[in-house]
Each structure stands twice: as structure tokens, then as C-alpha cells.
Structure 1
Amino acid sequence: MLVKRFEEATPYEVPNHWGVASLRLQGFEEGGPANQWVGMSQFLPGGGAGPDATPFEKVYVILEGEMTLTCAGEETVLRKYDSCTIAPDEERVIENRSNHVCTMLVVIPYPPEALS
């Protein structure tokens, strides 16, 4: 078992994101998860990401606030405790259009080169 306290979470930068602060909660460490890593992102009002896609799936879980997600021309608003899966190579845009901070949990598989 690996317990990691919130105070131990490390910040990370994400390309093509703005108005966001991200922390790695689990992953890329000895004794951590073998298949995926978990991050937490806090998006300021007006913050967001994209458009872009990755070759692996992602799971988003909204912990606080709301996030507008656009995929394949379809727009939806995710609110507290809503979640979604973004398929591999699926282009998406996320935007915090509210006046509140949006806190989002992100679960992403390791890139293949990290598993070698």
C-alpha cells in the first residue's frame, strides 16, 4: 500500500491548458499504481484546455464546480460528482464557464514509454 498525503502531491504543467493548477496525487513513483496515474486540476473561471486529443483514454470526475465539455460538436456541462470517459484520439475542449473554481480528478493510463 502506498499512502500519499495531499501535502506531498507535486505540481505538474499540462500543455494546451490555461487558468489551471494541477497536482499529481498518485503515479510515477515507487510502490504507486502500476497502470495509471491520478491528478487533480483546479480550473479558475475562464480556465480550460484544448482542443486536443491523446492516444489513450482519460476519465474526468468533477469534485467541485462545473466544467463545460465539448466532444464531436456535442456540448455538455459536468457538475459535482459527474464523470466522463474520453476515448483514445477523441478530440475535446473543456472550459470553466462559471464564476467558481472547478476541481476535477483526472485518471490517465501511463504512456507506453513509461511502462517499459
Structure 2
Amino acid sequence: MHIKRFNDAEPYEAPNHWGVSGLRLQGFEEGGPTNQWVGFSQFLPGGGAGPDSTPFEKVYVVLEGEMTIEWDGKTDVLRAMDSCTVPPGLIRRIENKSNHVCKMLVVIPYPPKA
């Protein structure tokens, strides 16, 4: 069992992101998860990421606010408690187009070992 308090979450910066504050809730630590890590992102209005892709899938869970996601010429809006799986290699762009902060969990597998 590995318990980590929110006050102990470490900030991190994700590449190709803007207007966001990220905290690592679990992962990259002794006793933590071995398959994936969990981030908590707070996107300011106008904040976002991409367009880009990763070689592994990830899961987004919107906790509060809303996030617009664009992929393959499609657009959708995730709202509180909506989630999506982003497949490996899919080019996506996300942006908080609202006037409220979007709070989102991101679950990502660890990168492959070199």
C-alpha cells in the first residue's frame, strides 16, 4: 500500500503544454505504482496541449470544468466526470475553451526503459 497526500504531490512540466499546472499524484517513487503514473492537471482558461501524440495510450478524466479535444478532424467536449482513452500514435489537441479552470486526471504508462 502506498498512500500519498495531496500536499506531498510534486509539480511537473509536460512538454507542449501551456496554461497548466501539473502535479504528480502517484508514480516515479518507491512503493508507488509499477505500470503507470497519475497526474493532476489544472488548466487555466485558454490552456491546453498539442497537437501531438505519444507512443502509448493515456486516459483523461475531467473532474471539474470542461476540456475540448480535437483529433482526426473531429471535436468533442469532455465535462465533469467524462473520460476518454487516447490511443497510441493518435495526434490530438486539447484546450480549455471555457472561462473556468479545468481540473483533470491523466493516467499514463511509464515510458519504455532505454
TM-score range, shorter chain: over 0.9
The answer for the alignment partner of 2:87 in structure 1 is 87
Q: Which amino acid aligns with 1:7?
A: N
Paired with 1:111 and 1:23, the residues of 2 have a C-alpha distance of 18
* 5+ residue gaps, structure 2: none
Q: Which amino acid aligns with 1:33?
A: P
Deviation at 1:9, TM superposition (A): 0.2
The answer for the alignment partner of 1:71 in structure 2 is 71
Deviation at 1:64, TM superposition (A): 0.3
* SS of residue in 2 equivalent to 1:105: strand
* SS of residue in 1 equivalent to 2:34: coil
Deviation at 1:111, TM superposition (A): 0.4
Paired with 1:73 and 1:50, the residues of 2 have a C-alpha distance of 14
Aligned residues: 114
Deviation at 1:108, TM superposition (A): 0.2
* RMSD, aligned α-carbons: 0.7
Q: What is the TM-score when the length of structure 2 is the normalising length?
A: 0.99
Paired with 1:58 and 1:111, the residues of 2 have a C-alpha distance of 12
Deviation at 1:47, TM superposition (A): 0.3
* 5+ residue gaps, structure 1: none
The answer for the alignment partner of 1:60 in structure 2 is 60
Structure 1 runs of 4+ off > 2 angstroms? none
Paired with 1:35 and 1:15, the residues of 2 have a C-alpha distance of 21
Query: Taking every aligned residue pair, what percent have the same amino acid on both sides?
Result: 73
Paired with 1:54 and 1:27, the residues of 2 have a C-alpha distance of 18
Deviation at 1:50, TM superposition (A): 0.2
Q: What is the TM-score when the length of structure 1 is the normalising length?
A: 0.97
Deviation at 1:91, TM superposition (A): 0.5
